[in-house]
Amino acid sequence: MSKKNHYPKGGETHQTAKMGQSALTSNLGAPVSDNQNSLTSGARGPVLLEDFLLREKIFHFDHERIPERIVHARGSAAHGFFELYESLSDVTTADLFQRAGERTPVFTRFSTVAGGAGSVDTPRDVRGFAVKFYTQKGNWDLVGNNIPVFFIQDAIKFPDLIHAVKMEADCGYPQAASAHDTFWDFISLMPESTHMIMWAMSDRAIPRSLRMMEGFGVHTFRFINAKGKSTFVKFHWKPKLGLQSTVWDEAVKLQAADNDYHRRDLFESIEQGDFPEWELGLQLFDQKLADSLPYDVLDPTKLIPEEKVPLRMVGRMVLNRNPDNFFAETEQVAYCPGNIVPGIDFTNDPLLQGRLFSYLDTQKSRLGTANFHQIPINAPKCPFANFQRDGMMQTLVPAGRANYEPNSLGEADEEPGPRECPVSGFSSFPGRAENEEQGEKLRLRPESFADHYSQARMFFESQTENEQAHIASALVFELSKVMLEHVPPRVVANLRNVSEELAKRVAGGLNIALPKKAPAAASLQQLDPSPALSIQKNMKAILKGRCVGILIADGSDAVMLSRLKKAIQKSGATVKLVAPKIGGARLSDGNVMKAHGQLAGAPSQLFDAVAVLLSSKAVGMLIKESAAVEWVANAFAHLKAIGHNAEAQPLLERANVVPDAGVTGLDGAFVEAAAMRFFDREPNIRDLA
């Protein structure tokens, strides 16, 4: 195939071996001609099983961590059921979708992606959202995330993505974080990641609770009905409690306050009978509609706005039982996108096609070794070089941090590693498949995948001004951690294709000159904003499922406290009492009220709203107590409602709390305010990019 037709092009970076540079090879020494694209039958056809380079690369990658999962290692899960609202027999024969009212048992696991099993719950990260349906016709696994799109278009780039975001190869840090060199180096070289970066830098990546985030199947799947008719389907989980996120400063402090914040929240809510619940929504459409869209429905970096294809709400999932044993259930559960039942089928989404192999291989082989090729009898006698690393029985000692590709570490005077060899590397014979419509076998991405920026712009323009500021500030924070000087300008150059304003804000925050706009591989489109993509536009003003902290001390008004607790609990929220001492406080009626937490050990970031109910004498002491001042100051900084009695006013003043709509008395106004965050406050308390 001629090079002029080879995609990537335009804004993509294509690196090849130079004279004297080592060649990228397989584990057995065969030179690699193309490390960017899987071997497919036609541009939009299925990935072929004969692609031994894809299989070897992902096979080795799947075995790099023992015994925990390579990604999604830290997870929390629960049992429950799925209840169907209405029969879907018109579009699918899948058994669980036939009989209205029928309940199907499920086991659902939520997870972070980048961190290890021992990391924390609250970093900025994508969250896994995997549901195993135990249907009467077999198990169906809907394995997705809390974000509807993904970083890459082809599974062959998945090892590179994860290598880049994980701890850096030479130093072993940072853990569970994307704010470092190698991640942003990779992202800056992969324009197709731009849409996902908008989501990852938004508040979607720092959820308030696992119970308050959406779930998505990410890919386009197929439903097949009794007549053999195919209907495209995308899966959405909508939380009954609505979307909620933290703010960045709060998420950082939560890591110190409670490493298990999300896990504990999920476990305790189920233990208390406050069962998390989601509705399952489907986007159903045919080939005609798919062809009419200005993007490819097989492209996992794209979504279909709900305004374009509305959701059909077909059932609900309720999680009502915690695991009996964490290891036996949560750790050992094995999800695989290839676990489907009759009536559900795959599409030729290249990322999905790669997952069909990868997940089964991972779960079957979490113990054992992928380094058998290093045993002398198996070892090649010619040089070999690639970016596959680690694993059991590793006998080599790779130097440096270049363990992903593309990379630009050569620009930082580091060894960038081997490169593919288009001329001398292995190339498949381009024979045509039996189905003539599929075309030749080739490594090629369709031109319809080439637009990497339009939906990223749509996502950014769909956010509120406050959410846009959060995205800009998140980009500034993360890129400020990047020590490779050439990487941040490259990221900003990509951002200019998303929003000139965003690019200028990020460049200004980094104090760098605005770089030239990165070339785009396809013409950009002006897509209509989608309000469904905004957290703040979709937040529910309800207190149910949330937690309110009340600060008390000796002398607190007993009658007022009782009245406040009843009002909060009537709204469906939990009340936690915090006092200077864990033993509690002696109230105005002489009775001792035991506290749930001690002031220094129960910071306000553990609560969705706070109330301060103190006597004048107690305030006189607490305004000298830094933990008390910080308790109030952090709640204000985290945009939460603060209710207080008149006697507590000096403490609020010491904490620099400025009156606004979220600062109320302890009457009904506080209960109403406690259900919301007050984003209008934010520009007055912190600098956002």
- As a whole number, mean pLDDT of residues 132-136 equals 91
Residue 110's DSSP bridge partners are 76, 129
SS3 245: strand
The angle formed by the CA atoms of residues 549, 551 and 555, to the nearest 5 degrees, is 145
Helix (H) or strand (E) holding 84: strand 75-84
What's the chain's average pLDDT? 90
The structural domains of the chain, ordered by start, are 75-356 (2.40.180.10), 454-537 (1.20.1370.20), 541-684 (3.40.50.880)
**Cβ 249 vs Cβ 639: under 8 Å:** no
What is residue 374's predicted lDDT score, i.e. its pLDDT? 61
Give the count of beta carbons closer than 10 Å to the beta carbon of residue 475. Answer: 26
Give the count of beta carbons closer than 10 Å to the beta carbon of residue 500. Answer: 12
The angle formed by the CA atoms of residues 83, 88 and 93, to the nearest 5 degrees, is 105
Among 60, 63, 72, 452, which one carries the catalytic annotation? Answer: 72
Cis peptide leading into 105, omega within 30 of 0? no
Cis peptide leading into 323, omega within 30 of 0? no
**Cβ 679 vs Cβ 650: under 8 Å:** no
- In order, the DSSP letters of 225-242 are -TT--EEEEEEEEEETT-
Sign (positive/negative) of CA torsion 401, 407, 413, 415? Answer: positive
Q: Among 93-97, 99-103, 182-186, 426-430, whose mean pLDDT is lowest?
A: 426-430
551/71: higher pLDDT: 551
What is residue 381's predicted lDDT score, i.e. its pLDDT? 59
Alpha-carbon span 655 to 653, nearest angstrom:
5
- As a whole number, mean pLDDT of residues 518-529 equals 95
Q: Which residue type is seen at 124?
A: R
What is residue 607's predicted lDDT score, i.e. its pLDDT? 97
C-alpha distances in angstroms, 266 versus 34, 39, 255?
Answer: 45, 42, 16
Alpha-carbon span 187 to 382, nearest angstrom:
33
Q: Report residue 624's pLDDT band, with 50, 70 and 90 as the boundaries.
A: very high
Among 27, 35, 37, 145, which one carries the catalytic annotation? Answer: 145
What is residue 15's predicted lDDT score, i.e. its pLDDT? 62
Q: Is the pLDDT of residue 165 over 70?
A: yes
pLDDT > 70 fraction of the chain, expressed in percent and rounded: 90
Tens digit of pLDDT for each residue in 550-596?
Answer: 999 999 999 999 999 999 999 999 999 999 998 899 999 999 999 99
Helix (H) or strand (E) holding 520: none
- As a whole number, mean pLDDT of residues 276-283 equals 98
145 is catalytic: yes
Cis peptide leading into 337, omega within 30 of 0? no
For 320, list phi and psi in degrees, rounded to 5. -130, 10
Alpha-carbon span 325 to 79, nearest angstrom:
12
Among 47-61, 338-352, 656-670, top mean pLDDT goes to: 656-670
- As a whole number, mean pLDDT of residues 663-680 equals 94
Among 169-173, 208-212, 253-257, top mean pLDDT goes to: 208-212
pLDDT > 90 fraction of the chain, expressed in percent and rounded: 72
Closest CA to 167 of 183, 151, 185: 183
**End-to-end Cα separation, the chain, in angstroms:** 46
What is residue 435's predicted lDDT score, i.e. its pLDDT? 43
Tens digit of pLDDT for each residue in 453-506?
Answer: 999 999 999 999 999 999 999 999 999 999 999 999 999 999 999 999 999 999
What is residue 643's predicted lDDT score, i.e. its pLDDT? 97
Among 131-135, 304-308, 537-541, top mean pLDDT goes to: 304-308
For 531, list phi and psi in degrees, rounded to 5. -55, -25
Tens digit of pLDDT for each residue in 315-373?
Answer: 999 999 999 888 778 887 878 898 888 899 989 899 999 999 887 677 666 545 566 46
